[in-house]
């Protein structure tokens, strides 16, 4: 298993379908706040 800090650009591409949802900015902030598996 590998942990890494995902760049916001990678997260934005991964979650692009949710871009217009009201929770999107909080999701990107949360996912980029620390390492992911």
**Residues 1 and 37 sit within 8 Å (Cβ to Cβ):** yes
Q: How many domains does the chain have?
A: 1
Q: What is the pTM of this model?
A: 0.82
Domain that holds residue 11: 1-37
- Specify the pLDDT at position 7: 95
> How confident is the model at residue 16, as a pLDDT?
98
- For the stretch 1-37, pLDDT in tens is 999 999 999 999 999 999 999 999 999 999 999 999 9
User: What's the residue count for the chain?
Assistant: 37
Per-residue 3-state assignment (H helix, E strand, C coil) for 1-37? CCCECCCHHHHHHHCHHHCCCCCHHHHHHHHCCCCEC
What pLDDT shows up at residue 13? 98
């Amino acid at each position: 298993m590998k942990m890494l800090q995902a760049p916001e650009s990678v997260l934005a591409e991964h979650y692009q379908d949710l871009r217009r949802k009201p929770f999107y900015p909080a999701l990107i902030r949360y996912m980029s706040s620390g390492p992911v598996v």
